Amino acid sequence: MNEENIAEHTHQQELICKNCGAKQVYAPGKNSLVCEYCGTLNEIQVKDEEIKELDLEAYLGNLSESTPTIEIQTVKCNSCSAQTTFDPNVVSNFCAFCGSPIVIKDASINKVFKPKGILPFKVDKKSAETAYVKWLDNVWWAPFGFKKKVQANEKFSGLYIPYWTYDSDTSSDYMGERGDDYTVMVSYTTTENGKTLTRQRPETRTRWTHVSGNIFHFFNDVLVIASNSLPRAKTEKLEPWDLNSMVPFDEAYISGFRTECYQIDLKDGLGLAKIRMDEEIEQLICQDIGGDHQRISSKQTVYSNLTFKHILLPIWISAYRYNSKPFRYMVNGRTGEVQGEYPVSVFKIILVILIVIAVILLIVQLKK
């Protein structure tokens, strides 16, 4: 398939302006498409349908034949392996995740799980850039000249990232210990005016008792990013997401933006979701144990009524290279929260260490 044919068969719709017939793209913060030629806003008709959860056990039990899928055309980056879509009629561009050049002639068509919901962009590109500049002002450990170099080589893309959400009832049996603090007065000796005296002071001790119990909890919309292209710790810090504002999936919302194909399947995503659930379960167990301190010696959780859905969440992303090494930053497309990576200046670290040593030596000299 040649480049022109590939460009014509991308999954993003060429939505046409009612006023002039030109291409429209989604306008962040509005429920409208905007014409790239005349600027006319064309409202998106939100689908009147519920964003339903799907039964996880049924899907994993080979009953997924009736589950809606879509065919999308993605381009895989040879440098970082990210798979993203291109805008229609674009035959070459750069990878949003690492900044490497990619061409659409290397595209492939994949049949993937159709998203149930999408959270449209609310923060526009200009606002996201402003948030990034503010974030850069706090990046003190970066090398001198880093900020100017990054801003001068800006490659800023709006991208929809794939996520799984999981719901589950949980029942957790646990055993452990409860620690209750109490105070006792203890004697000690001290010397005052050449005399040895016996004094008393309060001392806090902990009384431990064995406990056991059971915790019931319902988890709603536990988020798991279905991408290996972004650092999980950074993307989790982009949370929270206002999932209550999610709308049924419509390709109109991705017009003018890229989307990434999910790389983590449903089963592996569940394992990651259970890790997140486990962290909250431990907190709930500690609350149930009570006291001043808690120790959990064992716990066993049963998951039931598991459901899931596939959704797309919006981020602004930029990838840049500094001394040939790729770095990325991301902006939450709903709240403007910024998370990113940056090089650390060894020179600045050494400089700070030398300054601290100099200050210590100065204080020592002044005390002499």
Q: Domain limits of the chain?
A: 53-74+116-175+210-353
The two three-digit tokens of residue 271, written as one number: 């394992």
Which H/E stretch holds residue 172?
strand 156-192
Taking alpha carbons only, the member of 198, 356, 217 closest to residue 283 is 217
Which residues are 309's β-sheet partners?
A: 165
Question: Which helix (DSSP H) or strand (DSSP E) does residue 64 occupy?
Answer: none
Whether the CB-CB separation of 67 and 54 falls below 8 Å is answered with: yes
Please give the pLDDT value at position 68: 64
DSSP structure string for 26-51:
E-TTSSEEEETTT--EEE--------
pLDDT tens for the chain, 368 residues: list them.
333 332 333 344 457 777 777 778 888 988 888 887 888 888 888 888 888 898 998 888 765 555 666 666 667 776 666 777 665 544 446 676 766 666 555 556 666 678 889 999 999 988 988 888 888 877 777 777 766 666 655 677 888 999 999 999 999 999 999 999 999 999 999 888 888 888 899 999 999 999 999 999 999 999 999 988 888 888 999 999 999 999 999 888 988 888 888 888 889 999 999 999 999 999 999 999 999 999 999 999 999 999 999 999 999 988 777 777 777 889 999 999 999 877 777 777 888 888 888 888 888 877 76
Quick one: pLDDT at residue 91?
44
Residue 225 has a pLDDT of 93
User: What CA–CA distance (Å, rounded) separates 286 from 280?
Assistant: 10
Angle of CA points 145, 123, 26, to nearest 5°: 120
Which residue, chain included where needed, has tokens 């940056």?
A: 342
SS3 145: coil
Q: List the one residue out of 278, 313, 314 whose CA is nearest residue 296.
A: 278
b/e sequence 64-91, b meaning 16+ C-beta within 10 Å: eeeeeeeebbbbbbeebebbbbbbbeee
- What is the residue type of 10? T
The pTM of the whole model exceeds 0.85: no
